[in-house]
């Protein structure tokens, strides 16, 4: 019987196998993925080799199987880093309790854990263990940490276990794993050929030669959105206000300071864009006049006249040939009500709302997506993970609008 969905070619999956009875299911996973044209590179822990022989994976995938950090590094220079380069993802299945604890705490004492910590691709794990181990508070703590780090956890399911007990902890079946992997690696190309314009970070509005007004935005969410769009194959232009972040490897990075500069940069780029995602926290006001010299301190009151900045998103969303526009709203109160009003006012197919006090500067947030179908909550997770979920949602809405019947 053939398991799986559509054929995927030229994708590379690094398959990590740790010690658990469920390793037998992963043999079938390796076979089906290989048959579907996926290049499967297997790395096994010592304990995994007690359950299944490396030769089995080697025969089914046609690739050598790596098991030992030291031997492997001798045979292949820096294998603990290089094996994951070029991989679309790492899947660890089964992921044992011990391996999950190591991952959550950043340990790197064997080849697989070292590869995971040195990866530059996504990591998915399929836990498999006894129900008591699964429920153990330390295990749940570790899982929480991994989720926050953006690791995708699939399963486990509930059912009869190898030990004879019944409960949560059974690894997903091979067919379910195949489907999860295929959906994940297909996502890499979902936005190929699309130009995505992203604004990120704060703007800084000068008052005099050394002072100005700005806001607390770190730029983390906008940069994560740019990265997630890149991961899905899009061409990304990132226009950013001042941040302390390293830009992801976008196709074009434009650094700006003020809202007016950001507007000009957006106007110069927007005709190329299929999708515009306005994540920037643009300052709503700027000084009516900027003093070229530093204003001198005195004991008198000082008034600064502020005038409204242009609304960049509105300027784009009301263009006759507007790209597909997505806005963000950071609110401190009445989140949904304010966000829904903003979506209407700016005529947006999708508005992403979050609580300012939770999101600003933080590495994680909860998002509420408001679109024509209503509200979708993305529960709290690392910003990069939220950005990936958001981009998949944007992809679906975009395709719906342009009547392409695709699924991710
Ligand atoms: O109106 P408000 O600032 O609350 O709307 C937030 C959304 O509008 C964000 O997507 C932000 O990037 C965008 N915005 C903008 N130009 C402004 C103010 C906000 O593009 N001047």
DSSP notation for 65-111: -B--HHHHHHHSTTHHHHTTTT-SEEEEEEE-HHHHHHHHTT---SH
**Residue that is last in its domain, among 124, 153, 186:** 186
**Can you name the residues that pair with 90 across neighbouring β-strands?**
14, 123
* pLDDT classification of 404: cutoffs 50, 70, 90: low
Q: Do 207 and 230 have their domain in common? A: yes
Contact 254, 175 (CB under 8 A): no
Q: Which range, 9-13, 178-182, 284-288, 361-365, is most confident?
A: 284-288
Cβ of residue 203 lying under 6 Å from some atom of ligand 1:
no
Determine which residue's CA is closest to atom 6 belonging to ligand 1.
329
The domain boundary residue, chosen from 186, 220, 240 = 186
Confidence band, pLDDT 50/70/90 cuts, at residue 402: confident
Residue at a domain's end among 135, 154, 186? 186
> Closest ligand 1 atom, CA of 314?
20
Same domain, 379 and 323: yes
- Is there a single domain that holds both residue 135 and residue 258? no
Please tell me whether residues 182 and 205 are part of one structural domain.
no
Say what percent of the chain tops pLDDT 70: 95
Best probe residue, ligand 1, of 238, 310, 312, 345 (max atoms within 8 Å of C-beta): 312
- Same domain, yes or no, for 206 and 162? no
Residue 171 and residue 202 share a domain: no
Residues 119 and 230 in one domain: no
Contact residues for 235 (Cβ-Cβ < 8 A; gap 6+): 193, 194, 195, 196, 251
Asked whether residue 177 falls in the same domain as residue 122, the answer is: yes
Contact 15, 58 (CB under 8 A): no
User: Which residue's CA lies nearest to atom 17 of ligand 1?
Assistant: 311
Q: Confidence band (pLDDT; 50, 70, 90) for 74?
A: low
List the catalytic residues: 163
Phi and psi, residue 48, nearest 5°: -60, -35
State the CATH number of the domain containing residue 229: 3.40.50.10300
Domain enclosing residue 18, as ranges:
5-186
Give the model's pLDDT for residue 26. Answer: 98
Provide the whole-model pTM.
0.65
Q: What integer is the mean pLDDT of 254-282?
A: 98
CATH number where 100 lies: 3.40.50.1950
Q: Which residue has the higher pLDDT, 242 or 355?
A: 242
The residue whose CA has the least distance to atom 4 of ligand 1 is: 329
- Confidence band of 75 (pLDDT split at 50, 70, 90): low
Q: Reply yes or no on whether the pLDDT at 395 is more than 90.
A: yes
Same domain membership, residue 166 and residue 233: no
| Lowest mean pLDDT segment, chosen from 243-247, 291-295, 299-303, 338-342 | 243-247
- What does the pLDDT read at residue 76? 67
**Atom of ligand 1 lying closest to residue 259 CA:** 21
Mean pLDDT of 229-234: 88
CA distances from 408 to 183, 393, 398 (A): 6, 9, 12
Atom 9, ligand 1: residue with shortest CA distance: 328
Encode 157-193: b = buried (16+ Cβ within 10 Å), e = exposed: eeeebeeeeebbbbbbbbbbbbbbbbebbbbbebbee
Q: Is 328 in the pocket of ligand 1 (CB under 6 A)?
A: yes
Q: 26 and 161, same structural domain? A: yes
Residues 172 and 24 in one domain: yes
pLDDT at 407: 46
Best of 203, 214, 266, 327 to mutate for ligand 1, by most ligand atoms within 8 A of CB? 327
In total, how many domains does the chain have?
2
Clarify whether residues 179 and 214 are in a common domain.
no
Question: How confident is the model over 110-129, as pLDDT tens digits?
Answer: 999 999 999 988 899 999 99
């Amino acid at each position: 019987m053939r398991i799986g969905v559509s054929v995927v070619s030229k994708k590379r999956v690094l398959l990590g196998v740790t010690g658990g009875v469920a390793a037998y299911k992963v043999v079938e996973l390796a076979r089906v993925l290989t048959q579907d044209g996926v290049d499967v590179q297997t790395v096994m822990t010592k304990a995994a080799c007690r359950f299944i022989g490396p030769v089995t994976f080697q025969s089914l995938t046609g690739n050598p199987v790596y098991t030992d950090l030291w031997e492997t590094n001798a045979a292949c220079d820096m294998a603990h880093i290089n094996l994951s380069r070029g991989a679309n993802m790492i899947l660890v299945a089964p992921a044992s309790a011990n391996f999950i604890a190591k991952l959550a705490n950043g340990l790197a004492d064997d080849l697989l854990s070292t590869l995971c910590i040195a990866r530059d691709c996504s990591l998915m794990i399929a836990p498999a263990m006894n129900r008591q181990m699964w429920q153990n508070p330390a295990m749940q703590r570790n899982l929480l940490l991994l989720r926050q780090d953006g690791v995708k956890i699939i399963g486990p399911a509930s059912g009869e276990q190898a030990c004879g007990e019944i409960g949560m902890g059974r690894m997903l079946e091979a067919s379910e794993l195949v489907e999860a992997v295929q959906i994940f690696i297909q996502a890499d190309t979902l936005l190929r050929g699309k130009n995505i314009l992203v604004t990120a970070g704060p703007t800084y509005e000068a008052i005099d030669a050394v002072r100005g007004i700005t806001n607390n935005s770190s730029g983390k969410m906008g940069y994560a959105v740019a990265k997630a769009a890149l991961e899905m194959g899009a061409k990304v232009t990132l226009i950013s206000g001042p941040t302390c972040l390293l830009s992801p490897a976008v196709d074009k990075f434009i650094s700006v300071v003020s809202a007016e500069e950001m507007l000009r940069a957006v106007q110069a780029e927007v005709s190329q864009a299929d999708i515009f995602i306005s994540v920037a926290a643009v300052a709503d006001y700027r000084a009516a006049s900027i003093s070229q010299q530093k204003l001198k301190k005195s004991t008198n009151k000082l008034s600064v006249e502020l005038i409204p900045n242009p609304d960049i998103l509105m300027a784009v969303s009301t263009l006759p040939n507007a790209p597909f526009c997505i806005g963000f709203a950071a609110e401190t109160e009445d989140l949904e009500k304010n966000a829904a009003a903003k979506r209407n006012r700016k005529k947006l197919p999708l508005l992403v709302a979050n609580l300012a006090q939770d999101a600003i500067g933080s590495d994680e947030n909860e998002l509420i997506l408001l679109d024509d179908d209503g509200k979708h909550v993305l529960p709290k997770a690392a910003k990069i993970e939220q950005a990936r979920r958001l981009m998949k949602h944007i992809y679906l809405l975009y395709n719906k609008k342009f009547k392409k019947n695709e699924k991710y």
